[in-house]
Amino acid sequence: MGELPNLASDAVLKQSVPVPDYFEEVKGVDYSKPESRNARAKDIVASMRTMGFQASSVSKACEIIDEMRAWRGKHKSELEEHDQKGEFDDDGYQKTTIFMGYTSNLISSGLRDTLRYLVQHKKVSAIVASAGGIEEDLIKCLAPTYMGEFALPGKKLRDEGMNRIGNLIVPNDNYCKFEEWIVPVLDKMLEEQEESAAKRGKEAMDADALVWTPSTMIDRFGKEINDETSVLYWAHKNKIPIFCPSLTDGSIGDMLFFHTFKASPKQLRCDIVADIRRINSLSMEASRAGMLILGGGLIKHHIANACLMRNGADWAVYINTGQEFDGSDAGARPDEAVSWGKIKAEAKSVKLFADVTTVLPLIVAATFAAE
Amino acid sequence: MGELPNLASDAVLKQSVPVPDYFEEVKGVDYSKPESRNARAKDIVASMRTMGFQASSVSKACEIIDEMRAWRGKHKSELEEHDQKGEFDDDGYQKTTIFMGYTSNLISSGLRDTLRYLVQHKKVSAIVASAGGIEEDLIKCLAPTYMGEFALPGKKLRDEGMNRIGNLIVPNDNYCKFEEWIVPVLDKMLEEQEESAAKRGKEAMDADALVWTPSTMIDRFGKEINDETSVLYWAHKNKIPIFCPSLTDGSIGDMLFFHTFKASPKQLRCDIVADIRRINSLSMEASRAGMLILGGGLIKHHIANACLMRNGADWAVYINTGQEFDGSDAGARPDEAVSWGKIKAEAKSVKLFADVTTVLPLIVAATFAAE
Amino acid sequence: MGELPNLASDAVLKQSVPVPDYFEEVKGVDYSKPESRNARAKDIVASMRTMGFQASSVSKACEIIDEMRAWRGKHKSELEEHDQKGEFDDDGYQKTTIFMGYTSNLISSGLRDTLRYLVQHKKVSAIVASAGGIEEDLIKCLAPTYMGEFALPGKKLRDEGMNRIGNLIVPNDNYCKFEEWIVPVLDKMLEEQEESAAKRGKEAMDADALVWTPSTMIDRFGKEINDETSVLYWAHKNKIPIFCPSLTDGSIGDMLFFHTFKASPKQLRCDIVADIRRINSLSMEASRAGMLILGGGLIKHHIANACLMRNGADWAVYINTGQEFDGSDAGARPDEAVSWGKIKAEAKSVKLFADVTTVLPLIVAATFAAE
Amino acid sequence: MGELPNLASDAVLKQSVPVPDYFEEVKGVDYSKPESRNARAKDIVASMRTMGFQASSVSKACEIIDEMRAWRGKHKSELEEHDQKGEFDDDGYQKTTIFMGYTSNLISSGLRDTLRYLVQHKKVSAIVASAGGIEEDLIKCLAPTYMGEFALPGKKLRDEGMNRIGNLIVPNDNYCKFEEWIVPVLDKMLEEQEESAAKRGKEAMDADALVWTPSTMIDRFGKEINDETSVLYWAHKNKIPIFCPSLTDGSIGDMLFFHTFKASPKQLRCDIVADIRRINSLSMEASRAGMLILGGGLIKHHIANACLMRNGADWAVYINTGQEFDGSDAGARPDEAVSWGKIKAEAKSVKLFADVTTVLPLIVAATFAAE
C-alpha cells in the first residue's frame, strides 16, 4: 500500500512556535470548590472568563461594566466652572456617563424590572429606547402582560383580541386602558403648547420655547404615571433623560394620530431636532462615555452616533442576536463603530451574541446588583 | 442475540395515512430543458416553488408581489366622491397601495439602483426608511461608496477617515461634502419656517401651518438634489412620500445638530406627529394594502403599525435575517402581525429568511422588472 | 380635517376576551429581596421563568432536567428478570436514561470541566459526541488549549503552527504529542484485533467477535489516558458509553490514516454497525429516556434517532444556535422530532436558542450541581 | 446657546485620505439595459459583484467555482507515471479535484435534482454527505417527498405517520418501502462479506480484504437502485465516491440495526478506517483541490480535514447559515481553516451566508449549467 507521503505528515504534524508566556489556558468551573454548588453570579461569571466562545464575552461584558462604573476623574473643585459638566458621584468626583439602549421587547419581557432597578438606583445616565419601550412601560402600570407561546396562531389571537410579542401576550384591552389614561395627558400638553405659542408669537419655535420633544413628552408621562414599578417614573424622578426619536412608531403614535382629529385645527407637535441637540450635548459633556446596548436597530445606532460627537465612547457593551453578514447596523461589531469614530480605538468593547434575556439577569446580578 | 423488539419496528415502520391528492411533490430544476442553461429569472423562480425551505419562500414572495401588483378594483367613476381615495392605475381602476420599507444599509449597497428603479417607475406607493436610507442616497449623488471587506480593522480605517458599513467603505470626505450641500438647504427651510410662524402667530403650530416633518424635509431634499440616480429625487418627482420618523438618527441629525448652533436662537423644528397622521391616512385610504419589508427594526414595525389602521394589510412580504426567538419585532413572523390586526388573517404573507442583497436582484428581475 | 374614521379606532381599540385565570403574568427579578444581590443560580433561574423569550427557555430547560433526574419507577425486585433493564438508582429504583450529546467545540472550550463533572458523577447515562469531542479531551491531557480571538488572521497562525477554534487556540504541537501518545495504543488495538481474527477464523466478523467500534475504541482511549481531568477517563471508569459514529472525522482519523501505512497489509478496522445496535438497545431498554442536546448536527440527530426505537424520548432539552428556516436537522425544533416519533407527543421539551457556553454554567449550577 | 464645540465638528468632519485608484465603486443593476428584464443568471450574478454584503459573496462564489472548473495543469504525457494521479479532463490535462459536501436536507429538498445533475455530468470529483443525504436519495426513487409547512403540529403528523423536514413532508410509508428494498441488498452484502472472510481466514480484515465501508456500501446502493433520477446511481456510474462516515445515523442505520437481529450471529460490518484512507488519498493525489460546501457540520469538516493532507485546498466555497460566534466548526469562516492548513493561505475562498436553497439555483445556472 505504499509509504505515508511526507506531504500529509508534514502538514498534520507541523511544529508550532513556542507558546508565549502571556497565553492563558482555557479552563472552566472547578466543581470541587463548595462555591460552585448553586453558585453565585460573580463566581459563575468569573469561571466563564477562560471558557471561550460567548462565555468569555459574558465575562468580558461584566468586566467592562465594572470598569465603566468604577472610573473616577477629578473632583468638581479641581475643575474650571465651564468644565464642570458630565456626571459626578456623590462625593463630587467625575464619573462615566452611561448610555443605555434597549428595544421595546425587553420592556415587554420581565427584564423591565431589571431596567427599572438600574434607573431607580441611578446606575445609568441616559436612555435610548424604541417606541414600544416607552408605551409598554406605561401600559404595564395599567394591566399586566402575560406568558404565551411563540406558536400560538395569529388568527385565533386576533379574534380574541390577544396580541402576541414573541412568547408573550398583551390583551388588547390594555391598549384601551392606555388610551383612557393618555388622552387627558395629551390634552394638557397641547394646552401648554398653545399657551406658549400664544405668549411667544412668532418666536414660538425658538430654541428656548416650549416645543414638545420625545424626551420631554416621555418625562411628562413618567411624572403622570406616578408608579414605582415604572422605568419612566424613576427616570423622571432621577432626571435621567429617555430619548426615543421614533416615539410615534407604536401605540403612542396611534394615540397621537387619534388626537389630531380631536384637537383639530390645533395639533400637538413633537420635535426631534431639539432632542438630537440634547443627546449630543450629553455626549460632549461626558467626562467618559460608556455604552450599554441591549438589542439592535435604532437604539444601537442612536447611542453610537451620539458618541461620535465626543470622538468615541470609552467603553462599549453590545448584547444582541444581530449578525454582520447582511451589513445591517444592528449586527455590526464594535470594530465597525471604531472606523466611524463612534467608539475610541483604544476603548474596551465586546459584542455578546445572545438574546438579552438569557444573559442580563446573570450579568446584572454580577455587576450592578452584586453588592 | 435475541429478537428484534416490536417496540422498535412498530415505531420505525409505522404506517402512514394515504397521501391526500392535493399534496404537491418536491421537485427541482429540470436541466434537460434548454431554458435551464443560464436560466432567466422567472424560470429560476418557477423551479424554486417546489424546492422547499427558503427556495419556496423566494418563489412565494414573487407570487405575492405579482398578486399585489395585479389587483384591480372598481373604476373611479363607479365610486362615490368620498371613496375616490387610494391608488388608481392609469386607466382609473383602483390598485394596491404598496408600502415598501428598507433599512439604511440597502441604500449603501448596490441595491440603491434597484430601489431607485422601483420609485422612478412608480412601482411602490409609499416608503419607510431608516435615517441612513435617506442621507446615503443624497451622499451617493455627491461621491461614491466603495467595496471593502468585513474584516478591515477599525482603527486603521478611522486613522484614514474611511468608514465601514459591512463590507463597504464610505470615505469621511463624503460627509464633509454632504455638509456643504445641506447647510444652505437647511438655512432656507428655517427661513420658510420662520416666515410661516411670523404670518400665523399663535397658530404657528396648527395642523395646516408650515411645520417641517421628516417626510416634507425628505421631499425637499429630493427636489434640491435634482439627480436622476437618486431615490429621493424620483420620490419627489412622483409624489411618493418617504417616511422616516427617526430622521435625526444619522448624518442628517449631525447636520441638524450643528445647525442649531448656527441658527440660534432660531431653531429648525421637525415634527413627527404630522407624519404619523399622514402615513396612517394613506393606509386607511388604500383600497388594498401590500407590505414589502426589506430588513427589520423600525421600518418593519412602522409599516405594519400603519396597516393596523385599516385592520390589516392584504399582502405581506418580509425579507430579513431576524429570528423570532429573542422576541424582537425585527424577527417576528407575519403571523405575529396577524395577532395584532396588522396583517389580515386571510392575507397571503411570507417571511423570507435571507440577506436582502442575495435575493432581491432575482426577485425584482422576476417580478417588477420582468417585462 | 374630518372625523377619526371608525375603521382605525375599531381596529386599534378592539376589545379582548377576558383573560383566563390560568394566564401567568410576566415578571422579573425582585431586587428588593436580599437574595437578588449577587444571586445564586437557582434564584436567577427561578426569576427567569416568567421573563419571557429565551429566559423562560433557560428556566424550562432546568425544570425539564430536574424532572428527568428526579423520575423514579419501580424497584428492581418488582420487575420480571427480563424487564430488569435500563438505569437504576443506588436504591434499586428505575431511573431515567439520560442521553447527552455535545459537539467538539464544547470540549475545546472550558465546558469540558462541566461535561467531565457530569460523567464523573454519573449524572448522564450515555453520550454522543463528534470526533473532536473525543480527541480534544485526550489532547487536553497532554497540553493545554489557549484563549485567542475570533479575528486572528489565519495565515499568520498557520505560519506559527497555531490552530484556531473560534476564539481559542490549539498549538499544533499538541497534535504531535497526541500522535506520540496514540500510536502505541493503536498498535496494541490492532494486535488484539488480529489475535481475535486468528482465533475466530471465518467467524472473525460475527456479532460477538472482537471488532473495534467507535464506542469500544473510545472506552479504550479513556482507560489508557488514565487522567482524572478527562471525560473519557471517567466514562470508562463509570461504564458510560460514548458514541461517535464519525470517529475518523478529525485528528484520530488522521492518526488512523497514518496507521494504515504503518500497519499494512494489516489494518485496524472500526465498525459502526455494532454501535448502532448498542445505542439503539440502550434506548429500548430505558425505562424513561431524556435527551440533553448541546449543539447541533450529527450529535443531535443521532440521539433523537436512537430514541425513535422506543417510540420517543420522554424529555428533551436542545441548546444550540441553529435555526429551522433552512430545513437543517441542526435547527429543527423539538416538534419536528415529535412528527418522527423521536420525542413523545406528550413529552416536555424545550429548544433554548443560545451558544451553549453562555447558559450551561448557569443551568448546571442550578440543576446537576445545585446541591 | 453657545458655540458648536470643535470636538464634535472635528470628529464628524474628519478628512479622509485620498481614495486609492484600485477602489471599486459600489453599484447595482442598470435597468435601462434590456438584458436586465427577466435577466439571465449570469447577468444577475455579474451585477451582484459590486453590490456589497452577501450579493458580492454570491458573485464571488461563482467566480471561484468558475476558476476551479477552468484550471488545467500538465498533460498526462508530460508526467512521470507515479505523478499521473488526480483528475484529468477528456483531453488528458490535469484538472481540479472538486470535493462537494451536502447535508441531508438538501437531498430532501428539490436541490436533489441539481446535485444529481452535477454528478451525472461529472462536474464534481468526490462527495461527502450526511446519512440522510444517502438514504433520502434512494427513498425518493421509491416514493415522493411532499411540500408542507414549518408550522404543522408534530403530534398530528405523527398520528398520521407523516414526518416533517422543515417545510417538507415524508410519509412514513416511504421508509417501509425502503426497508423492503434494502433488506435483500443487505442480505447479499452480508453473504459477500462472509464469503470473503471464509476465504481469507485470519486475514479477513486486512487492507485488501472485502470489508464494507460507507463509500463501498453507498456505491452498491447506487448500483442496485438503478434509477436515473438518483444521485447515487450516477455516482456509481461515474465512479464518483460518496463518503459518509456516519452512515448509520439515519434510516440506513435503522435498517442495519434491524438486520443485526435477522443476521445473528453473523453481522454486517461497516468500517470507517478504510474510507478515511480513501478520501485522504484522493486529496493527496489531487493536482489542485476545490471545496464546495453546502451546509455545515460533519460534511464541512470532513472535506476540510481531507484537504489538510495536501496542506490545504486551493479554492473553497462555503454556503451555509452557521455563525462563528459559538465556536462551532459549522459556522467557522474559511480563515479558520487557513489556520489549520486546511485551506491554503493564498487560496481564494468565500463564505456565503445563506440557506443553500435560496442561492444554489442561481449559482448553478450561472456556472456549472451556464452553457
Please tell me the distance from the alpha carbon of residue B45 to that of residue D352, in angstroms, as a whole number. 20
pLDDT, mean over chain A? 97
C132/D193 touch (CB, cutoff 8 Å), yes or no: no
Percent of chain C residues past pLDDT 90, beyond the cut: 97
A160/C361 touch (CB, cutoff 8 Å), yes or no: no
Angstrom distances, CA of residue D321 to CA of A198, B38, C326: 60, 26, 8
Angstrom distances, CA of residue A323 to CA of A326, A328, A336, D353: 7, 8, 12, 10
Q: Mean of the pLDDT values across residues A163-182?
A: 98
Q: Which residues on chain A are in Cβ contact (under 8 Å) with C160?
A: 16-17
Please tell me the distance from the alpha carbon of residue A7 to that of residue A358, in angstroms, as a whole number. 47
DSSP states of D197-250: HHHHGGGTTSTTS----HHHHHHHHHHHH--TT-HHHHHHHTT--EE-TTTTSS
Q: Is the peptide bond before C20 cis (omega within 30 degrees of 0)?
A: no
The closest alpha carbon to C296, from D324, D249, D297, D253, belongs to D297
Residue B351, pLDDT score = 98
**For testing the chain B interface, which of D51, D157, D160, D258 should be mutated: the one with the most B CBs within 10 Å?**
D51
Within 10 Å of residue A260's Cβ, how many Cβ atoms? 21
D40/B40 touch (CB, cutoff 8 Å), yes or no: yes
| Amino acid (one-letter) located at D312 | G
A150/B338 touch (CB, cutoff 8 Å), yes or no: no
The closest alpha carbon to D351, from D61, D102, D14, D68, belongs to D61
Touching C (3+ Cβ pairs <8 A), the chains are: A, B, D
The burial of A324, by beta-carbon neighbours within 10 Å (0-12 exposed, 13-18 middle, 19 or more buried), is given as buried
Question: C192 in the Ramachandran plot: left (φ > 0), alpha (ψ -120 to 50) or beta?
Answer: alpha
Touching B (3+ Cβ pairs <8 A), the chains are: A, C, D
> What is the distance in angstroms between the Cα of B75 and the nearest Cα belonging to chain C?
23
Q: Which residues on chain B are in Cβ contact (under 8 Å) with A195?
A: none
pLDDT-derived band at A5, boundaries 50, 70, 90: confident
pLDDT in tens, C246-299: 999 999 999 999 999 999 999 999 999 999 999 999 999 999 999 999 999 999
Residue B4, pLDDT score = 78
Nine-digit cell at B35?
431554458
The closest alpha carbon to C117, from C239, C235, C242, belongs to C235
Task: Identify the CATH number of the domain defined by range B74-143+172-356.
Answer: 3.40.910.10
**For testing the chain C interface, which of A3, A49, A51 should be mutated: the one with the most C CBs within 10 Å?**
A51
Cβ–Cβ < 8 Å for C367, C361:
no
Please tell me the distance from the alpha carbon of residue C153 to that of residue D111, in angstroms, as a whole number. 34
pLDDT in tens, B165-187: 999 999 999 999 999 999 999 99
Touching D (3+ Cβ pairs <8 A), the chains are: A, B, C
pLDDT in tens, C79-117: 999 999 999 999 999 999 999 999 999 999 999 999 999
Counting every residue written for chain D, the total comes to 371
**For testing the chain D interface, which of A273, A325, A359 should be mutated: the one with the most D CBs within 10 Å?**
A325
C336/D275 touch (CB, cutoff 8 Å), yes or no: no
B248/A345 touch (CB, cutoff 8 Å), yes or no: no
Q: Mention every residue, 6+ apart, whose C-beta is less than 8 A from residue D246.
A: C245, C246, C272, C298, C302, D130, D131, D298
Closest by Cβ to B166, choosing from D17, D53, D151: D53
Residue B107, pLDDT score = 98
Q: What distance, in Å, lies between the first and last C-alpha atoms of chain A?
A: 68
ipTM of the complex: 0.96
Closest by Cβ to D37, choosing from B4, B14, B370: B370
Q: What distance, in Å, lies between the first and last C-alpha atoms of chain C?
A: 68
Domain ranges of chain A: 74-143+172-356
Please tell me the distance from the alpha carbon of residue D132 to that of residue D124, in angstroms, as a whole number. 20
pLDDT surpassing 70 at residue B61:
yes
Closest by Cβ to A284, choosing from D8, D325, D327: D8
Cβ–Cβ < 8 Å for D259, D212:
no
D336/C154 touch (CB, cutoff 8 Å), yes or no: yes
B325/A295 touch (CB, cutoff 8 Å), yes or no: no
Please tell me the number of Cα atoms within 13 Å of A301 on its side-chain side. Answer: 28
Q: What distance, in Å, lies between the first and last C-alpha atoms of chain B?
A: 68
Sign of CA dihedral A158, A163, A166, A167: negative
C249/D298 touch (CB, cutoff 8 Å), yes or no: yes
> What is the distance in angstroms between the Cα of D310 and the nearest Cα belonging to chain A?
6
pTM over 0.95: yes
C280/B327 touch (CB, cutoff 8 Å), yes or no: no
Closest by Cβ to D369, choosing from B13, B31, B355: B31
pLDDT in tens, A309-330: 999 999 999 999 999 999 999 9
DSSP states of A127-163: EEE-HHHHHHHHHHTTS--EE--TT--HHHHHHHTEE
> What is the distance in angstroms between the Cα of B63 and the nearest Cα belonging to chain C?
19
Cβ–Cβ < 8 Å for D286, D313:
no
Annotated catalytic residues of C are: 342
Q: What is the side-by-side order of every strand in the sheet holding C72-75?
A: C72-75, C93-95, C87-88
Q: Which entry of D342, D344, D348, D351 is annotated as an active-site residue?
A: D342
> What is the distance in angstroms between the Cα of A125 and the nearest Cα belonging to chain D?
20
Within 10 Å of residue D137's Cβ, how many Cβ atoms? 28
Within 10 Å of residue A296's Cβ, how many Cβ atoms? 27
| Amino acid (one-letter) located at A132 | G
> What is the distance in angstroms between the Cα of A82 and the nearest Cα belonging to chain C?
38
Contacts of C218-222 with CB under 8 Å at 24 or more apart are C218/C134, C218/C242, C218/C244, C218/C247, C220/C185, C220/C189, C221/C134, C221/C138, C221/C182, C221/C185
B153/A308 touch (CB, cutoff 8 Å), yes or no: no
Nine-digit cell at A308?
461620535
Please tell me the distance from the alpha carbon of residue C180 to that of residue D147, in angstroms, as a whole number. 52
Q: Which residues on chain A are in Cβ contact (under 8 Å) with C57?
A: 358
| Amino acid (one-letter) located at B244 | C
Per-residue pLDDT of chain D (371 residues; tens, 9 = 90+): 467 779 999 999 999 999 999 999 999 999 989 989 999 999 999 999 999 999 999 999 999 999 999 999 999 999 999 999 999 999 999 999 999 999 999 999 999 999 999 999 999 999 999 999 999 999 999 999 999 999 999 999 999 999 999 999 999 999 999 999 999 999 999 999 999 999 999 999 999 999 999 999 999 999 999 999 999 999 999 999 999 999 999 999 999 999 999 999 999 999 999 999 999 999 999 999 999 999 999 999 999 999 999 999 999 999 999 999 999 999 999 999 999 999 999 999 999 999 999 999 999 999 999 98
**DSSP 3-state assignment of B293?**
strand
**C-alpha B283: how far from chain center:** 15
Closest by Cβ to B144, choosing from D26, D108, D254: D26
Closest by Cβ to D341, choosing from A11, A284, A310: A11
C267/D207 touch (CB, cutoff 8 Å), yes or no: yes
The burial of A90, by beta-carbon neighbours within 10 Å (0-12 exposed, 13-18 middle, 19 or more buried), is given as exposed
Please tell me the distance from the alpha carbon of residue D90 to that of residue D101, in angstroms, as a whole number. 24
**How many CB pairs below 8 A link C and D?**
294
**For testing the chain A interface, which of B271, B293, B324 should be mutated: the one with the most A CBs within 10 Å?**
B271
Q: Mean of the pLDDT values across residues C206-217?
A: 97
Annotated catalytic residues of B are: 342
> What is the distance in angstroms between the Cα of B259 and the nearest Cα belonging to chain D?
9
Q: Mention every residue, 6+ apart, whose C-beta is less than 8 A from residue D78.
A: none
The closest alpha carbon to C170, from C185, C152, C187, belongs to C152
Closest by Cβ to C205, choosing from D254, D267, D277: D267
